[in-house]
Amino acid sequence: MNKKDLLYQGAEAKICVSKYMDFDVVEKRRIPKSYRIKHIDNRLISYRTKEEAKLMIEARNKGVSVPIIYDIDLKNGIITMEYLKGSRIKDIFNNLNETEKKNLCLKIGRNIARFHNNDIIHGDITTSNMILVDDRVHFIDFGLGEKNGEVETKGVDLHVLMEAIESTHSKYSEYFKYVLEGYKKELKGDANQVIKKIEEIVKRGRYR
């Protein structure tokens, strides 16, 4: 891997552009941790790679747009997936007009509800982890995701996005209400319970 191929490096993984059977792809490579015992680190990397790939595949099967997975290397902790040639929501949101912002937030809310209808928790829903391709919102980076049906966890999932919008798009934080509107329309359970949890989480932060 050349430096020019590196898109992003975080604490847990490197994201780089590559080729796979003539397709432009992205490889997510988990980074080994020298402070962990090697065989334990290898097992953790393998497990987390497998779980992330499973969540992505299930999300796609439930109607949420995510990158297509081409290959999974559990030994080396690599997921090879579709390279989405679109725009990060983070980069375009502030420049959209009022109607575009509203419609985008409605779409985001509906997609999060599809996650939650199937007890899929993304774990890091931010506008950095959503890419708009052909008017469809694609979700990336399921590294903190899990299967969990608790209302509390679903509330936390949405609260992460609320905070991301407030910090990254502070002028337009009121548009989160349209995320919740879309969420309510698509969620099969009682969306008000989840929204109430968000309010509880906000209050906890105030009085901490």
For 143-178, the pLDDT digits (tens) are 999 999 999 999 999 999 999 999 999 999 999 999
| pLDDT per residue as tens digits for the range 53-87 | 999 999 999 999 999 999 999 999 999 999 999 99
Non-local CB neighbours of 53 within 8 Å, separated by 6+ positions = 69, 72, 79
Q: Which of 41, 57, 82 marks a domain boundary? A: 82
In this structure, the answer to whether residues 94 and 77 fall within a common structural domain is no
> How confident is the model at residue 22, as a pLDDT?
87
> How confident is the model at residue 208, as a pLDDT?
47
Any idea what the CATH number is for the domain that residue 47 is in?
Answer: 3.30.200.20
Greatest distance between any 2 Cα atoms in the chain: 54
> How confident is the model at residue 206, as a pLDDT?
61
Domain count, the chain: 2
In this structure, the answer to whether residues 102 and 201 fall within a common structural domain is yes
In this structure, the answer to whether residues 40 and 118 fall within a common structural domain is no
| pLDDT per residue as tens digits for the range 174-202 | 999 999 999 999 999 999 999 999 999 99
Domain that residue 26 falls in:
3-82
> How confident is the model at residue 137, as a pLDDT?
98
Non-local CB neighbours of 12 within 8 Å, separated by 6+ positions = 30, 31, 143
> How confident is the model at residue 1, as a pLDDT?
46
Q: Is 70 exceeded by the pLDDT of residue 4?
A: no
Q: What is the pTM of this model?
A: 0.92
In this structure, the answer to whether residues 94 and 186 fall within a common structural domain is yes
- What percent of the chain stands above pLDDT 70? 97
Confidence grade of residue 2 (pLDDT, cut at 50, 70, 90): very low
**DSSP alpha helix (H) spans, the chain:** 38-61, 89-92, 98-117, 151-168, 176-186, 191-206
In this structure, the answer to whether residues 17 and 78 fall within a common structural domain is yes
| pLDDT per residue as tens digits for the range 95-128 | 999 999 999 999 999 999 999 999 999 999 999 9
Residue 148 has φ and ψ, to the nearest 5°, of -160, 125
> How confident is the model at residue 205, as a pLDDT?
72
In this structure, the answer to whether residues 92 and 73 fall within a common structural domain is no
List, by residue number, the catalytic residues. Answer: 124
Chain-wide mean pLDDT for the chain?
A: 94
What is the distance between the alpha carbons of residues 189 and 65, in angstroms, rounded to a whole number? Answer: 21
